[in-house]
Structure 1
Amino acid sequence: MNEDQTGAASLGFEQYVFVLKRQWRLLIGATVIGGLVAALYLLLAPQTVTATTTLNLNVITTEPFSAQRAASGLLDDATETAIARSHVVASRASDLLKDSFSPNEIRSASTVATTSGAAVVTVDFDASTAADAIRGADAVASAYLSFRSDQAQERIDVMVSNLTERIDALNKTLGEVNQQLVSADPSSAAYAQATTQRQQILTELDGLLSERNGLQSVDTTGGIVLSAAEDNELAYSPARTVTLLTGLAAGLVVGIIAAFVWNPFDRRLRNAKEMSRELRAPVFATLDARREDVPARGDAADSLRVTRERLLVDIYLGSTVLVIDATHRGETSPTAVNLAVVTAQAGHNVQLIVPEGSEEFRDHLRTALALEAASGGTAYSRTVPALRVFSATDDGDELQGDLLLTEQTHVAIDNAGAEEITFLVLSSSAHPASILAGLRVSRSVVIVTREKDTTSTEIRWLREEADGIETPILGAVAERAVSRGDRGEAGIAWPLSARSERTASSRHSARTDETAAARDEESSVVSGAS
């Protein structure tokens, strides 16, 4: 396997692990549901208890210890199984159980298996309770052994009776021959004939008597119980452990399948690792959104300063940096603004342009940065001298090139000093044409994301468009997600009006309601397609 194939295999395996780790809640949920279904099945399904009795059959023969043939060779598996499952044995077992089970029920509940040439017989009996199963298995085994014994004894009795009748007849004939010998002349032919007949009768009697004695000495015991039902382990069906493990395993398998099916539809990025993977660029820092302000303070300020130093490696003086706000806040994210602020705090001349800022946003920015208005829509900060904020006074409309990047905005970007860095902040929900225009006039891109709010769809679209224009995406700054209950305690004084309302009130107040509605509809259609 060459290096390309090894890398592809590693990437494929890493993708599987990534999806499973990302959808771990779905895996756990499906596994738990599988276990609960299995537990519910155990509660609702009828339980069957199986008891087992093991028997050792005796071979009923006149030569039980013959060395010429093993005793087990005199037994037949099919015959013994048929006898054990016969209606006669079931009737006897029913009598032993005092009619607790009918013969048909006993035959249905019992299972007979033979091993070692039918010398060992295993009787299984199924019942709803352990006590009934034990009683049933022992009853079937006892009935089976007694039936074998009775049958053998009956056959022997018949054979012994026949032999006795033949012996009696021979004894009578022998008496008559003896009378002839007493009355006959020893030298006569009659005497010789009687002597020969007497010898034949005695020989036959010896054989018959030996055969009868052998039959009368046969052991007709059907067999012995090797282990009673109460001595063997009971089997429960359905088995608790196996059923639960099967349910958990089935739930896990379903969860794995569901994870790969659902993952393409789960577009919200949960953490910095997922954002970096989707963006194919590093996440410079993750900020606590509840502690952000303008200018940033505490840990947020430290993280942004680290981000600034990493960005300055790739940002050139005199260039424009497009900051995409993908946090989906009601207003421009303070993190996007603070990227420009911390850069200016390092002594670099910075121009900040936020075309989508509402009047409330600008008022807050004016207060937070102590802005002093100057000519041409530019305001300088007294707290951060190297920072100036540009606000266009003209309205973007269909007669101009773009709705957000107005003619004055383009002029401000073009006229930025050679030692000045311009930060252009646009939201990811802005019109795609405005974002593409921002990509075109910028030398690099930074994206501000928010956990569980930023989606893979918009990140993928931004990345593909940036790659198409060959504007590099340097990386991202992520904001930690906060619960809805914590949003009011975040310490951020930004208004939470909708973007469409914000833009309509601040930048396009002269438009008609029909024009604004048409733009909102177009934006939603394009964003959904992307």
Structure 2
Amino acid sequence: MNEKNSIGLGYYLFVLRRQWMTILGMAVIGLVAMGGYVALVPGKILASTVVNVNVIVADPFNPSRPASGLLDAATESKLASSYVVAANAARALDNTETAVQLRDGVSVTTGLNATIVTISYASTTADRARSGADALAKSYIDYRQSQAEATKKKMIGNLEDQLGTLNKSLATTQAADKSALNTRISNVEFQINQLTAIDTTGGSVISPAAQNPVTTQPQPSLLLVSGLLVGMVLGIILAFILNSLARRVRDGHDVDIAGAGPVVMALDSPNGSLPPQGKELAAYRSLRERLLAATGNDIGVLTVIDETIAWAASDVGQGLAVVLAQSGHDVDLVLMGTSASKQMQLRGQLKLAPSVVDAEEDSAVMVSALIPRLRVIYPLGTDGAADTDDFVTDDVRRRVDERLPGVTTILVLPPKAAASSRLAAARLAQSALLVAQHRRTRIAVLSERAQELADVDTPLHGVVLVRATRESGAGARATSAAHSKADPQPVSR
């Protein structure tokens, strides 16, 4: 694999640029799919109630440790979202929201290094969400208070039992031991007094749900953006998969992969004409100069192998021959396997007439009154056994062998030519061109043709890439009709 095919940032950008329609299509699909989900599946309305939790301590005014340091955030979160709290809240709401619904829709967040707990509830409407959040907050506060009061009552009860026992012992104890018992009784009474003074309030609501804004969960805009991004990611993945599975020629990168050389000319026009005109004329002239520079101003014999997939063969060889002849080169254009309708079409386009000099040859030789330096040669067909090849006949070989110095011979094979014909035409030529069709010609076919040329040591200039829907005969019918009544005199070379 050459440097152009090596994996790098440039390659990834190239694939993304080539497959941009795939990426865009998947992004649109993701956006539409998520839009449908948003439309069909209603979002939840989220309301929040803010609670200041009362941390229950024996001495709330002791500054040695802040109240937030005594609060276990994980425990409080679990407690606020527990089934017991949800069940009590459901009873407070007269079961308009069940305990299961309340527990499924509740979410709890605790402030960092603070005693603030935010209890949120998601429901189908804003009113139900606010009612649920407030009910859960109140149930959470009440539950904390009831638990604290139960614990306080139990501890005080235990101390009172101890105090009763000590008082009974004091009545039966001798005077010498009463001092120690009185001390113990005083300690127990002090503990009872401390417990009695403890504030067991669970907390207080500092911001009810009605005072806080409601939000939609999940947010439609966030969902749409997520759908778009997911679609783009899937599109990028699909782009690389499709690029690796591509089997048809799309651009110069595929031509390089096939080892068929560069794209020496691209014909993007939907209609072709002979002689070439406009942008196509400029493209043919550029190709002509490339070929002349590569061959030292003497192209000699050039084989054009057509690998287009269309109703008719391309006209690349004809266009190149016309442009070469227009620049003062003597050109013999040998068209092998050309249909009778195509021959009639070319006759009108180039004002062709039979050659008097070559009237007795084994080929139909036509000369152009429009471009005097151009001859068009149609080798006569054989029965397949009386000649060396179906297309590269003995007459074609003889014309190549007897080619005069300075004359350029262009051998044009049709797409249906067999491998033996391609090899024979390539072996007779000094160089070759391949014609491929955008998104129709297979990369593997170009690779095979390049290998065939290498097998017979015929240099390959590169590939001419033509548009898939290009009609080589378009624009020619008018020219043919205009000249069908004309009968130009034969021109001899």
TM-score by length of structure 2 reads: 0.77
CA contact (8 A) 1:331 1:357 kept: no
95, 98, 104: which one aligns with 1:99: 95
Q: Does 1:299 align with 2:279?
A: yes
Pick closer, same or farther for the CA change 1:280–1:206 going to 2, 3 Å. Answer: same
State the distance in 1 between where 2:239 and 2:7 align: 18
CA shift for structure 1 position 97: 1.8
Note the 1:92-241 alignment, pairs <5 A: 92-112=88-108, 119-149=115-145, 152=148, 218-231=198-211, 234=214, 236-241=216-221
Structure that is richer in helix per residue? 1
The equivalent residue for 1:252 is: 232
The equivalent residue for 1:439 is: 426
Task: Give the letter aligned to residue 420 of structure 2.
Answer: A
Q: Does 1:424 align with 2:411?
A: yes
Pick closer, same or farther for the CA change 1:149–1:469 going to 2, 3 Å. Answer: same
CA contact (8 A) 1:324 1:427 kept: yes
CA shift for structure 1 position 407: 1.3
The equivalent residue for 1:343 is: 324
Q: Does 1:411 align with 2:401?
A: no
Note the 1:291-370 alignment, pairs <5 A: 292-315=272-295, 317=298, 319-370=300-351
State the distance in 1 between where 2:310 and 2:4 align: 38
Q: Does 1:52 align with 2:48?
A: yes
Name which of structure 1's ranges 145-154 and 418-427 shifts more when overlaid on structure 2.
Answer: 145-154
CA contact (8 A) 1:381 1:387 kept: yes
**Structure 1: 5+ residue stretches without partners:** 169-192, 496-530
Pick closer, same or farther for the CA change 1:111–1:450 going to 2, 3 Å. Answer: closer
Name which of structure 1's ranges 250-259 and 114-123 shifts more when overlaid on structure 2.
Answer: 114-123
CA shift for structure 1 position 424: 0.4
CA contact (8 A) 2:272 2:473 kept: no
**Structure 2: 5+ residue stretches without partners:** 165-174, 480-493
CA shift for structure 1 position 64: 0.7
TM-score by length of structure 1 reads: 0.73
CA shift for structure 1 position 209: 8.5
Name which of structure 1's ranges 149-158 and 377-386 shifts more when overlaid on structure 2.
Answer: 149-158
State the distance in 2 between where 1:37 and 1:354 align: 55
State the distance in 2 between where 1:88 and 1:290 align: 76
Pick closer, same or farther for the CA change 1:127–1:420 going to 2, 3 Å. Answer: same
CA contact (8 A) 1:451 1:479 kept: yes
Pick closer, same or farther for the CA change 1:129–1:386 going to 2, 3 Å. Answer: same
Deviations 1:276-327 (CA, angstroms, capped at 9, x unpaired): 6656533343345455322223332232222212211223647210012334
Deviations 1:435-463 (CA, angstroms, capped at 9, x unpaired): 11111111111233443443323322222
State the distance in 2 between where 1:85 and 1:362 align: 88
CA shift for structure 1 position 260: 3.3
Alpha-carbon RMSD: 4.3
State the distance in 2 between where 1:280 and 1:73 align: 76
Pick closer, same or farther for the CA change 1:286–1:368 going to 2, 3 Å. Answer: same
State the distance in 1 between where 2:232 and 2:331 align: 54
Rg (Cα) greater in structure: 1
CA shift for structure 1 position 264: 4.8
SS in 2 for 1:493: helix
Note the 1:439-478 alignment, pairs <5 A: 439-478=426-465
The equivalent residue for 1:373 is: 355
Number of residue pairs matched by the alignment:
467
State the distance in 1 between where 2:196 and 2:347 align: 123
250, 265, 272: which one aligns with 1:285: 265
CA contact (8 A) 1:42 1:238 kept: no
Deviations 1:63-118 (CA, angstroms, capped at 9, x unpaired): 21113444345555676556545565434322432331234543444345656689
